Amino acid sequence: MSASNQPEGVGGGPLVDGPHDPEHDPRASYVLERDFVATLTGRVLATTGKTVTLVSPLDGAPLATIPQSSADDVAEAYRRARVAQAAWARTSMAERSAVMLRLHDLLMERMPDLLDMITLENGKARKHAYDEVVHTALTARYYARTSAKHMATERRGGVIPVATRIDINHVPKGVVGIISPWNYPLTMALSDGLPALMAGNAVVAKPDAQTMLTALMGVKLMDEAGFPKDLWQVVAGPGRELGTPMIDRSDYICFTGSTATGKLIAKQCAERLIGASLELGGKNPLLVLRDADVEKAAEGAVRASFSNAGQLCVSAERIFVADQVYDRFVERFVARTQAMTLGASLDWEVDMGPLISADQLETVNAHVDDAVEKGARVLTGGRARPDLAPYFYEPTILEGVSPDMTCFGHETFGPVVSIYRFHDESDAVARANDGEYGLNAAIFSQDGTRARAIARQVKCGTVNINEAFGATFGSVAAPMGGMRESGMGRRQGAEGIHRYTETQSVGTQRVVRLSPQFGLSSEQYAKVQVLGLKVLNKLGRA
């Protein structure tokens, strides 16, 4: 790539700085322009003097060094956030919304820079990076437009009609701790925190170590949009070191990651009696019913299984196909998978990029090798492709996967999907519900009414009809989250902002008091009250 066609950074500076002579210029060993990186990493509250080097999964090249925070830095972040939150809570909803809408516009304006960074840092195909930039913008716009309604004081019926007035307030919790993952480094870093800000809270965020720069680019845009800088604090470091200090100081925790870690966080939050929303693991099913449009189902299955190389919490890892269409579906699904363009670049033409790390590659290799050794058949894929990128693994379809194989019930979180034949829809639903997870499901059928009826039987927090995951994930007014061991709490919609508030009831009593008066004895007062209750029941009052 020549200097003239290299991608540009925020504000017009080059993301890729070159060419340089490696023998005389240390910048030659880094993909990203050092001054630009400094504008991002300067946002991390870190005083340890320690750094961690980030490398690109595209080619293993170093991207930047990230300063590391300590427990003391976490304490200072919360101190600053609490000061900022007190002032922010007094700002009007109109002011908050105006800043959020400026962020929406900046996300759209700087999209090419964001896509470059996400792909360089995460490895995903550019088209999948696009999905999360759009999702972040949609989230910003939705809460900018709807938060006044969600946060408005509600009137409820009082115990004595007219005489009792009840107002329900939604009061910000204070400072929210957000621990976000690497697989969707922009939207998972920002989108959970945006409604927290609109509710009047401050945020202390710890993005995943592997994708810090993308998260920091998002925070930089928030600063440009006009959010007070101290309102959104960023710390960096291992979760095992910073997680507990964050939980100890937060008024609420939002975490996206593994079920095992989520359970530990839930226990720690319970000890402090603070709330938490946890989006955790999944072994997501996709059902192809006998009346499905096979071509559309095959296209949807490719996106469901291989978007972001399968490193997606709502990605399908199990496909159940009706007898009547099984052979045709398998033929089309395999053909579409084999037609995918694989690569490790910033180009739009790439359909799937590499895995993010050696650890992810090792997990995928182990799951596939175990399945093959125990009798599973590889219909396509089934091998690593170091010729494409250090951590590349082909999109893989397995048939004949049985319960004794690791990938049968354990989340792979890679481009591997198992396909199963079913004879009876009730059996398919039972198999889809098998296991402890319940995050996302998809159903393909030309009968929407019947598919929606089946969806009610599927134990997943989101179910998509004739779509992989985008219908629910992209509809930011719709709550999203998991059942069972896939988590608790919901992002998006009214639920996504109310989780960051305390519900406060204010009762105003007028004219009459809730005790004997007008010379009534306690017994007479009770009889009057009973008569009143009977009348209200006759009138159909709740």
Show Cβ contacts of residue 110 under 8 Å, excluding neighbours closer than 6 positions: 10, 217, 221
Q: How far apart are CA 138 and CA 146, in angstroms?
A: 12
Strands 62-67 and 51-55: antiparallel
| 444: confidence class by pLDDT, cuts 50, 70, 90 | very high
| pTM of the shown model | 0.90
Question: Under a CB-based contact definition with an 8 Å cutoff, are residues 304 and 315 in contact?
Answer: yes
Give the tokens for residue 513.
């008091």
Q: Does residue 13 carry a pLDDT above 90?
A: no
Q: Which residue stretches of 433-505 are H helix? A: 448-455, 470-473, 493-498
Show Cβ contacts of residue 516 under 8 Å, excluding neighbours closer than 6 positions: 522, 524, 525
CA distances from 152 to 93, 103, 167, 477, 503 (A): 10, 23, 10, 17, 12
Catalytic residues: 279, 313
Tokens 């006044």 -> residue: 148
DSSP per residue, 231-263: GEEE--S-HHHHHHHHHHH-SEEEEES-HHHHH
Q: Does residue 542 carry a pLDDT above 90?
A: no
Q: How far apart are CA 220 and CA 216, in angstroms?
A: 6
Q: Does residue 2 carry a pLDDT above 60?
A: no
Q: How far apart are CA 419 and CA 316, in angstroms?
A: 10
Q: Does residue 12 carry a pLDDT above 50?
A: no
Tokens 């449009």 -> residue: 293
Each residue of 446-465: pLDDT tens digit? 999 999 999 999 999 999 99
3-state secondary structure of 508: strand
pLDDT above 90 coverage of the chain, percent: 88
Greater confidence, 1 or 136? 136
- Residues pairing with 321 in the sheet: 288, 421
Each residue of 173-220: pLDDT tens digit? 999 999 999 999 999 999 999 999 999 999 999 999 999 999 999 999
Count other C-beta atoms under 10 Å from residue 359's C-beta: 11
| 336: confidence class by pLDDT, cuts 50, 70, 90 | very high
What integer pLDDT is reported at residue 22 of this predicted model?
Answer: 36
Q: Does residue 300 carry a pLDDT above 90?
A: yes
What integer pLDDT is reported at residue 31 of this predicted model?
Answer: 77
Q: How far apart are CA 9 and CA 185, in angstroms?
A: 17
Mean pLDDT across the chain, nearest whole number?
93
What integer pLDDT is reported at residue 7 of this predicted model?
Answer: 35
Each residue of 42-73: pLDDT tens digit? 999 999 999 999 999 999 999 999 999 999 99
What integer pLDDT is reported at residue 86 of this predicted model?
Answer: 97
| 3: confidence class by pLDDT, cuts 50, 70, 90 | very low
Strands 501-509 and 377-380: unpaired
What integer pLDDT is reported at residue 470 of this predicted model?
Answer: 93
Q: Does residue 489 carry a pLDDT above 80?
A: yes
pLDDT-wise least confident of 17-31, 112-126, 406-420: 17-31
Q: Which residue stretches of 123-258 are H helix? A: 126-151, 187-190, 193-198, 212-225, 239-249
Average pLDDT over residues 113-127: 97
Average pLDDT over residues 461-482: 95
